[in-house]
Amino acid sequence: MAEKKKLQFRADGTFKIVQIADLHYEGGVPEDLRTIAAVQSVLEAERPDFVVFTGDAVKGNRCPDQLGQFLELLALPESYGIPYAFTFGNHDSEHDMCTREEMMEAASRRPLCYAEAGPDDVTGVGNYMVTVASAADGEDPKAAFYFFDTGCSAPKHIIKSYAWLERNQVDWYIRQSEALTQRSGEPLPALAFFHIPLPEYNDVWDFHTCYGVKNENVGCPRLNTGMFAAMKQMGDVMGTFVGHDHTNDYWGDLYGIRLCYGRASGYNTVGEEEFSRGSRVIRLREGERGFETWIRMADGSVVDEQPEHTAIGRVPPVPREKAEPAEPVEPVQSEQPVQSAQS
């Protein structure tokens, strides 16, 4: 396989990413045409340096040609000459019509694809890291992106839940972070991309100031295996970006790490007809810790100021059959909500 060209900050010191979340592409239904048009509209308006698909690109149990339709989606950034990467979601390889290994093998051969299968001894397919080099020499890494496979469902004999990041994935991340820190002399500014949110996405909404909307329960695993704690301890990850919950688009700062949802881009998701589609955009600046983020809507408009949500404490999840929200429960901790600093 030919070596990929190194990603590099622009001459003006910026690097722009478009996150594409939850397309649920079926390959042939009318909604697919709207999905393709939405993605094209965002890419044409933003002209990013990098595109990240954060899972559920295809609706695995509905595609007549799952692999072919997955590659059709990857052709979207390719048509603009934009390099890209992806993480798998719980629907991408659903029912094993096409395995994650087969999808990754086909995709990773494409010249603009930076996704990798990752180590064989780490759970999942698609645990890997990509670095962005300096604008000056194109060699020294100045930023890093971590990608994780968050799996599908947890083993039912343990607990009924979405899958969690396994301990070997946490350990793999720590090793990569340590190596980059040793090379750079300090933690390298980093972002992390994956599909299923961490349990801390509940914490940031319940106990801290957030920006954006939460229209459905956070679909996170019921067990917490410590990835957020590892990121905080390593000191490199500035923000995490997920999808999975189609009508959530909020972000909030939790102890210095910004936990962000993307914006659902696909029209094949059920029950979200009134939720306008779009994509989250992220801009880094070389040599700076922090990032800017906004949402580019499919109609071309930009949302750069999302509604503020004030913490009200832990609220029990709303049962699916009930529309009325439950009364809030007082938080067990006494700390004040932390206002996220704009970067």
Asked if residue 340 has pLDDT above 60, the reply is no
pTM of the model: 0.90
Q: DSSP secondary structure string, 271-322?
A: T-TTS--EEEEEEEETT-S--EEEEEETTS-EE-SPPEE----B-PPPPTT-
Asked if residue 335 has pLDDT above 50, the reply is no
Quote the percentage of the chain above a pLDDT of 90: 73
74, 115, 275 from 213: Cα distances, Å: 29, 30, 11
How many CA atoms lie less than 13 Å away from 105 in the CB half-sphere?
Answer: 5
pLDDT interval class at 137 (50, 70, 90): confident
pLDDT interval class at 95 (50, 70, 90): low
**What pLDDT, on the 0 to 100 scale, is given for residue 60?**
64
pLDDT interval class at 96 (50, 70, 90): low
Computed over every residue of the chain, the mean pLDDT equals: 89
Residues 294 and 281: beta-carbon distance below 8 Å:
yes
> 311, 320, 283, 242: which is closest to 16 by C-alpha?
283
CA-to-CA distance for 260 and 276, rounded, in angstroms?
A: 18
pLDDT interval class at 155 (50, 70, 90): confident
Average pLDDT over residues 14-31: 92
Average pLDDT over residues 219-223: 93
User: Under 8 Å CB-to-CB from 47, ≥6 apart: which residues?
Assistant: 16, 80, 82
129, 182, 286, 300 from 141: Cα distances, Å: 12, 12, 10, 33
CA-to-CA distance for 63 and 70, rounded, in angstroms?
A: 9
Asked if residue 341 has pLDDT above 90, the reply is no
Average pLDDT over residues 136-143: 90
